[in-house]
Structure 1
Amino acid sequence: MKIGLYFGTFNPIHVGHLIIANHMAEHTNLDQVWMVVTPHNPLKKKSTLLDDYHRLQMVYLATEDYPKLKPSDIEFKLPQPNYTVNTLVHLEEKYPNHEFSLIMGEDNLKSLHKWKNYEAILAHHNIYVYPRISTESENLELKNHPKIHIIEAPVVEISSTTIRENIKLGKNIRPLVATKVWEYIDHNLFYKK
């Protein structure tokens, strides 16, 4: 089975994440997209993150009506901070019959050369890249690599940061997240402070 791994803190998961994940599941040769909830991104301050369980629960609520999209807590059990290369090794050992690929935005592809053991990732895994408005494609040195697949996907510029800021300001963000996610956030009074 071909699995696309879409990593994120999903703090919170929003419709932009769902649009990209569903597009990858429907318009590439991937059988499923696993939404891998990252407990701690080395590049983000942990203090701004909602509890891991709550973020996983929101991903579950957002994806339960999409059979090809699956929440994953695989990184919860791995040493912190998480590095993608270590997660891939762990997944290959646990699921030897699956073929794992990465899903990322053009902005992440631009910094891929800074990732731990990025050459090993590129040697063994395909990477499906979706467009971002904020990136000049001409600057992407790796874009012609045989393992890199640029996918024409909808350009979605919704940010979890903006959603959190707007909740704090008392703004209505309901159109930006799945209904069940909004209800979960609202019920738990998340991001109010």
Structure 2
Amino acid sequence: MKIGLYFGSFNPIHIGHLVIANHLVEHSDLDQIWFVVTPHNPFKKKSSLLDNYQRLEMVYRATKDYPKLQPSDIEFNLPQPNYTINTLVYLQEKHPDYKFSLIMGEDNLKSFHKWKNYELILENHHIYVYPRLSKGHVETQFDNHKKIHHIDAPIMELSSTFIRSAIKAGKNIQPMLPQHVWEYLDEMNFYK
């Protein structure tokens, strides 16, 4: 089975995340997408970041109607600070029959060469890159790499930061969130 790993804080998860993940699972050779909720770094003070399990709950609620999209708390029990390479090694040991790939936006590909052990990641895993709005194509050293696949997914310029600010300002952001996530945020009074 081919699994695409979509890492993020998902604070909160929104329709942009779902559109990209669903597009990838339906229009590539990936069988499932796992939303890997990245844990709160205990050394960083970030009051706008909800608790790990609250964010995981939102991802669970957002994906429960999509069998090919799954929430993952795999990083919650790994030593912190964690690096993507450690998660990949751990997952490969735990699921030797699965093939794991990374999902990232074009903006992250530009700095991928700065990631810990990025050469090892590329040696053992494929990377699926979705487009972002930008000022034309910026060349990277990975442009023609055989393990990097540019996917023509819809461009979703929606950010969790914008959503949190809008909630705090009392704006209606309901159309930007999956219904189950909206109901949870509203019930819990998050980001107000």
1:156 matched to which residue of 2?
156
2:74 matched to which residue of 1?
74
Structure 1 gaps of 5+ residues are none
Q: Distance in 2 between matches of 1:156 and 1:81?
A: 29
Output one character per residue of 1:86-107: Cα deviation in whole Å (capped at 9) or x when no partner.
0000000000000000000000
1:81 Cα deviation after fit = 1.7
1:144 Cα deviation after fit = 1.1
Write 1 or 2 for the structure with the bigger share of helix.
1
Identity of aligned pairs, percent?
Answer: 69
1:135 Cα deviation after fit = 5.6
Q: Distance in 2 between matches of 1:174 and 1:118?
A: 38
Structure 2 gaps of 5+ residues are none
1:20 matched to which residue of 2?
20
1:169 Cα deviation after fit = 0.2
Q: Report if aligned partners of 1:41, 1:82 keep a CA contact under 8 Å in 2.
A: no
**TM-score calculated relative to the size of structure 2:** 0.96
Q: Report if aligned partners of 2:40, 2:51 keep a CA contact under 8 Å in 1.
A: no
Q: Distance in 1 between matches of 2:134 and 2:190?
A: 29
Q: Distance in 1 between matches of 2:66 and 2:22?
A: 8
Spell out the pairing of 1:1-193 with structure 2 (5 A cutoff).
1-40=1-40, 46-134=46-134, 136-192=136-192
Q: Report if aligned partners of 1:106, 1:137 keep a CA contact under 8 Å in 2.
A: no
Secondary structure of residue in 1 paired with 2:142? helix
Q: Distance in 1 between matches of 2:104 and 2:188?
A: 30
CA 41–32 in structure 1, closer or farther in 2 if over 3 Å, else same:
farther
Give the number of aligned pairs: 191
